[in-house]
Structure 1
């Protein structure tokens, strides 16, 4: 069933208000120094941990109007699921540590020391773990993300943004630090199979 226009924005507002009103998460202050900034997060390196504050809505994989794998703003619950998937599938240790002034999430994760892997090394790690690349003609992503989509049949997950800046080459191998992970929907499975 198709949702009415604007429903996601309304649901996002309701979910962000629920986060703000819950009192479960402490408020975190704005960084006085930002070490890195991406499209979703302001980042500060804190020794053994990296602290990330959302400054915009997160992202999830979706089906576009043309029936391809695309990108959409994540609802707060979808963003939290994405963090859970990163922990579960890649052994990360992401934690929500608070809420920002915009009732978005502040997270921490262990600092990974290492260099940037090659695209071939990322491909090899994902392929060895059972991920399959999404065909280019099945992707409708912004130009920097084209070619970065993968999916996993056994885990029922779509992965976007599998690019060099989102992985570290460590003493323990090539590890992801910030992927866009989304549960596979029946519509996505139909496209990908």
Structure 2
């Protein structure tokens, strides 16, 4: 995965709300910390080479939210509507995106580490070179989504829904789940533990697996 190209020494403090007055709604070379943005609406905001730390976004609507070379650390983006987002070389560290909608998003070279995406929506999205590490993906909705070179490491996938999303070449062996919403076609070609495979055998074939 290509990491964000971010020169911290070139960043200056800025208020996120200034993006509304900026030409083309572009926020660039910004150091944003400790701000709370609630129920803000903005069409096609663009953020380039910025660092967010301790920021709180609650119930905001940013249609076609474009991020390039951006880092989020200890941030909250809860229940935000980010339909049609385009994210390139973006990192999220210890962030909360609970209930956030990213339907029809395009994510490339994006990393989520120690994040909570429970109840988030990634339906009909395109993910390329995206990693989820030690993150909560409980009840994640990921229907009809394209996953290319996606890695899941140490994630909680309980009750996640991958209906009509191919998990081919996805390694689930370090992940945990009690239930998973998938079809037999969805999991064809993915890598599982013996227990996970036994769950699928029972789910699809009604087979009782005895250890």
For normalisation by structure 1, the TM-score amounts to 0.22
User: RCO greater where, 1 or 2, for CA within 8 Å and sep 6 or more?
Assistant: 1
Greater radius of gyration (CA): 2
Relative to total residues, which structure has the larger helix share, 1 or 2? 1
More strand by share: 2
TM-score (norm 2): 0.20
